[in-house]
Amino acid sequence: MKKPINVTVTGATGQIAYSLLFRIAAGCMFGTDQPVNLTLLGRAGSNNAAMTGTMMELEDCAFPLLWNMVDTTDPMQGFRDADVALLVGARPRGPGMERADLLQANASIFQTQGRALNEVASRDVKVLVVGNPCNTNAWIAMKNAPDLKAENFSALMRLDQNRAEAQLAKRLQVRTTDLAHVAVWGNHSPSMAADVTFSTACGESVLPKLDNVWLEKEFAPTVAKRGGAILAARGASSAASAASASVDHMHDWVLGSNQRWVTMAVPSKGQYGVPEGMVFGFPCVCENGVATPVEGLALTDVTKTKILANIRELQAEAQAVKEFVP
């Protein structure tokens, strides 16, 4: 039997975790032959009763792969020897809260968590930030963990790719598994750039089958504003789909993407003019536990313009939280 992987999850009282934790324990993230030890990191001062209830339910599933489970509110204990950290918990936007207030409120959470990861996590820990604003939160955590490699950090943009693939498959009347090379660039915000320039369906370019009006007026805005549309329809934000995308992201990062492009927000190494270190959505290929952005693509002028807008947006976010970054 394999050695168990230590997985730490924050935000365990929330609605994403209520879906995510059960899929991890069932073997969807790391494979059905890979045991896991789960640590649920709660918020100090919170009533973590919901977390206790979730743990009781996890126990009641009698998952063969769930070898151990503990909870704590201390990040230094919660991240000790973590191989994988899923940072889902984040302060939601409250009434009257400006975007700058939200950025600041979350910055202190990810500063603390970055410092703790730096101190006590496995040196090869894979960190996925889901809590919004996820690109900037991941950047803050990364900057506060100077002893870990920048490549250990990532943020969730796979949900945006999955949304793009679902819309495209519906339009072309194909299955999502027929599609390849769908990309989403930039920030997990309405500015993100969904890109089908290189996409294929059943091995053939999708471009001749699509018109620009649909791409610009329907496809791109539907993908970018999907979170808001779900909130309006369901009265609660995307949860199961965000959990599923988190499973996809970490599964492919750890086990490989088999040459498939998968969108991940990762620290830039200067590709496509994105400033070094900025946590930016790129199409990536994952192999041997390493996610590598696909380089050398001939981008359209539209995509280049959108990438620039995303860079500016992330620079403004970084500026708003600069006191949380050494």
DSSP state of 326: -
| Site for ligand NDP contains 88 (CB under 6 A) | yes
Q: Which amino acid is at 216?
A: E
Nearest of 163, 151, 177 to residue 260 by alpha carbon: 177
- What is the number of alpha carbons within 13 Å of residue 96 lying toward its C-beta? 0
| Site for ligand NDP contains 35 (CB under 6 A) | no
- Length of the chain counted residue by residue: 326
| Site for ligand NDP contains 130 (CB under 6 A) | yes
To the nearest 10°, the Cα dihedral for 91, 104, 76, 7?
A: 50
Measured distance CA(80)–CA(41) in Å, rounded: 11
Measured distance CA(48)–CA(44) in Å, rounded: 9
Least Å distance, CB 65 to ligand NDP, is: 23
Among 23, 80, 91, 171, binds ligand NDP (CB under 6 A): 91
Q: With CB under 6 A as the contact rule, which of the stretches 30-38, 87-95, 167-175, 247-255 interacts with ligand NDP? A: 87-95
Binding marks (x or -) toward ligand NDP, 208..237, rule CB under 6 A?
-----------------------------x
Q: With CB under 6 A as the contact rule, which of the stretches 57-65, 79-87, 126-134, 294-302 interacts with ligand NDP? A: 126-134
| Site for ligand NDP contains 120 (CB under 6 A) | no
Pair of tokens at residue 112: 């603390």
Q: Is 315 left (phi over 0), alpha (psi -120 to 50) or beta?
A: alpha
Cα angle 284, 285, 289 (rounded to 5 degrees) comes to 110
Using CB under 6 A as the binding rule, the residues of this chain from 286 to 315 that contact ligand NDP are none
Least Å distance, CB 44 to ligand NDP, is: 8
Least Å distance, CB 209 to ligand NDP, is: 28
Residue listed under structure tokens 């329907």: 218
| Site for ligand NDP contains 321 (CB under 6 A) | no
Least Å distance, CB 223 to ligand NDP, is: 12
**Phi first, then psi: what are they for 122, rounded to 5°?**
-55, 145
Q: Which amino acid is at 246?
A: S
| Site for ligand NDP contains 320 (CB under 6 A) | no
At a CB cut-off of 8 Å and minimum separation 6, what does 166 contact? Answer: 176
| Site for ligand NDP contains 281 (CB under 6 A) | no
Pair of tokens at residue 84: 């994988």
| Site for ligand NDP contains 9 (CB under 6 A) | no
Question: Closest CB to ligand NDP among 89 and 283?
Answer: 89
Nearest of 10, 24, 26, 20 to residue 61 by alpha carbon: 26
Beta bridge partners of 41: 10, 72
203 burial class (0-12, 13-18, 19+ CB within 10 angstroms)? exposed
Least Å distance, CB 205 to ligand NDP, is: 28
Question: Closest CB to ligand NDP among 164 and 201?
Answer: 164
Least Å distance, CB 74 to ligand NDP, is: 13
Question: Closest CB to ligand NDP among 201 and 263?
Answer: 263
| Site for ligand NDP contains 15 (CB under 6 A) | yes
Please list the active-site residues: 188
Least Å distance, CB 246 to ligand NDP, is: 8
Question: Closest CB to ligand NDP among 92 and 146?
Answer: 92
Residues at the interface with ligand NDP (CB under 6 A): 11-17, 43, 46, 88-92, 109, 130-132, 134, 156, 159, 188, 237-239, 242
